[in-house]
A and B are shown apart, each in its own frame.
Chain A
Amino acid sequence: MDHRPQQWGRPRDDVYGAYDASYMQNNGPNQHTQQPIVTGTSVVAIKFKDGVVIAADNLASYGSLARFTNVKRLRTFAGTSVVGFGGDVSDMQYLDRHLNELAIDEAYTSEAGHTLNGRNLHKYLSKLLYHRRSKFDPLWNHLLVAGLDEDDKPFLAAADLLGTTFTSPSLATGFGSVLAQPIMRRYAPDEESAAKLTKEEAVDIIKECMKVLFYRDARSMDEYSIAVVTKEGVELKENEKLEKQSWAFADRIKGYGTQTV
């Protein structure tokens, strides 16, 4: 063993092999992102009578490895909107820092009254994403923005790494678009029916979606963040546990489920 202080905390060469120092210097050309590395899975959101409910689990995966289990993928903006991030976590953290800056700038440039609302924020983020894709240096995220528009009506919109944008009474990214979206559309097929939902109903629908996602999305987990955005502000809970959920039945399953012995 080598006990010199400069070796403290370093992987042992005899176990892991010599460290490849070429990773430390970037002699080569700067590379743009070609693929996401550490990723978050679905974000789901639905509008209701006086706001939007949005949720995402707290897992960040490295490929199929559940790498970080306490990563918060919802972030509030100016106390009035929530952005939910799917996709690359480092790009999410970059956007988070960028949004902090934007919020501070905005708070300083005008003395009172002007804040970017949900619609403004979504437009800005989608422009940023489109700009980066046009530079062939995309931010590898699929975002949902939940907030209110200029008339204090619920606002929900998506933007992805290509700059594609859309709004709908309910939205989901990633696996959620196939697993959660059909559930949500059952309750809110159009704007009119979304405008009839109460907050409690909307929260229940989202929780139901999170449960289905946990059961069927292998890159998900049972701890999640959920936020309710209304005129009164943002109500964000970051350490919710999935209720009435259990994998206990899995013990009894053999093979593909049809096997009995």
Chain B
Amino acid sequence: MFRNNYDNDSVTFSPQGRIFQVEYAAEAVKQGSVVVGLTSKTHAVLVAIKRNAEELSSYQKKLFEVDEHVGLAIAGLTSDARVLSNFMKQQCLSQRLTYDRPMPIETLVSMIGDKAQLNTQHYGKRPYGVGLLIAGVDETGPHLFEFQPSGMTQEMVACAIGARSQMARTYLEKNADNFNDCGREELIRHGLRALKETLVQDRELTVDNTSVGVVGFKETGKKALEFFKVHDGAEVKEWINSVEEDADAGGETAAEEGGAAAEGMQVDE
């Protein structure tokens, strides 16, 4: 039987120049349920599907507040995500203590990028088995960053990671041009529609399995913040209903988008 000799640790390259442990970690991200993030001129939004391990168990949390101006969504190992989330929380607190300012999002993201990279270059360490979407607002506006276990980070207009996230990405790519000028509500609805694309046949968004996180400016051009807040349960009902309605109303467009998504699927494979 084939046995891969180059995946015992993350310090050894394969002859093809690959580090298998890091690639396996990236697979762990794809096992996690899907999360979607997107930004406009004024807001950054995260939406997520929560999973429950069994019928009687509670739903696993997907969105976390880091500081008043930053939040994150996770796909992969929740326990690893908590380590990163705690770290980011501490960094944000200390930034406020030493400089009396909110942590710039880019700086925060590069910190976890560096932290994750260390795990890919030290013997006996394991890469984080989680991918993150970090949404936040700072003096340069709303931002969305993607983080991968390799330590890769990049700023995105919109992004989706986790199981079947390709479907959501296809939706986001198709509508990306509209996001910038979206209002808060419209941006959330785009997020939920992208999320819906990833659902298997008989599944749908419910108040139990959907989380929405929003952060942004209260008014355009103003510095007053709408703090990052995670909305669960009854709070997301209206939004879910509103995306269901437009699916019923525009049957044709829905079918069209479904077609595009199917194409996307094939590309993925």
Do A and B share a direct contact in the complex (Cβ within 8 angstroms)? Answer: yes
Size bracket, chain A contacts: 10 to 19
Contacts of A150 in B (CB 8 A): 101, 139, 223
Q: How far, in whole Å, are A244 and B215 apart by their CA atoms in the complex?
A: 58
Contact at B139–A110, with CB atoms within 8 Å?
no
Contact at A114–B100, with CB atoms within 8 Å?
no
A2 at the interface (CB under 8 A from B): no
In the assembled complex, the CB of B151 is this many whole angstroms from the nearest CB of chain A, namely: 16
Grouping DSSP codes into helix (H, G, I), strand (E, B) and loop, the A interface class, with mixed when no group exceeds half, is loop
Contact of B139 among A113, A124, A127 (CB under 8 A): A113
Contacts of A219 in B (CB 8 A): none
How many CB-defined contacts (below 8 Å) exist between A and B? Answer: 35
Contact at B101–A109, with CB atoms within 8 Å?
no
In the assembled complex, the CB of B101 is this many whole angstroms from the nearest CB of chain A, namely: 5
Size bracket, chain B contacts: 10 to 19
Contacts of A116 in B (CB 8 A): 99, 101
A120 at the interface (CB under 8 A from B): yes
Q: How far, in whole Å, are A150 and B107 apart by their CA atoms in the complex?
A: 18
Q: How far, in whole Å, are A150 and B225 apart by their CA atoms in the complex?
A: 13
Contact at A110–B99, with CB atoms within 8 Å?
no
Determine which residue in A114, A120, A127 has the highest number of CB atoms from chain B within 10 A of its CB, and name it: A114
Contact at B223–A114, with CB atoms within 8 Å?
no
Contact at A123–B98, with CB atoms within 8 Å?
yes
Contacts of B138 in A (CB 8 A): 113-114
In the assembled complex, the CB of B9 is this many whole angstroms from the nearest CB of chain A, namely: 31
B140 at the interface (CB under 8 A from A): yes
Contacts of B140 in A (CB 8 A): 112-114
Q: How far, in whole Å, are A119 and B223 apart by their CA atoms in the complex?
A: 16
Contact at A114–B107, with CB atoms within 8 Å?
yes
Contact of A109 among B98, B100, B107, B139 (CB under 8 A): B107
Contact at B139–A114, with CB atoms within 8 Å?
yes
A200 at the interface (CB under 8 A from B): no
Given contacts A119-B100, A120-B100, A123-B100, contact A110 B107 (CB under 8 A): yes
A151 at the interface (CB under 8 A from B): yes
In the assembled complex, the CB of B105 is this many whole angstroms from the nearest CB of chain A, namely: 9
Contact at B98–A127, with CB atoms within 8 Å?
yes
Q: How far, in whole Å, are A5 and B20 apart by their CA atoms in the complex?
A: 68
- Interface hits, A90-124 → B, CB 8 Å: 109-114, 116-117, 119-120, 123-124
Interface residues of B (CB under 8 A from A): 97-101, 104, 106-107, 110, 138-140, 223
Q: Which 10 A-B pairs have the closest CB atoms?
A: A113-B140, A123-B100, A120-B99, A114-B104, A120-B101, A110-B106, A110-B104, A127-B98, A124-B99, A123-B99
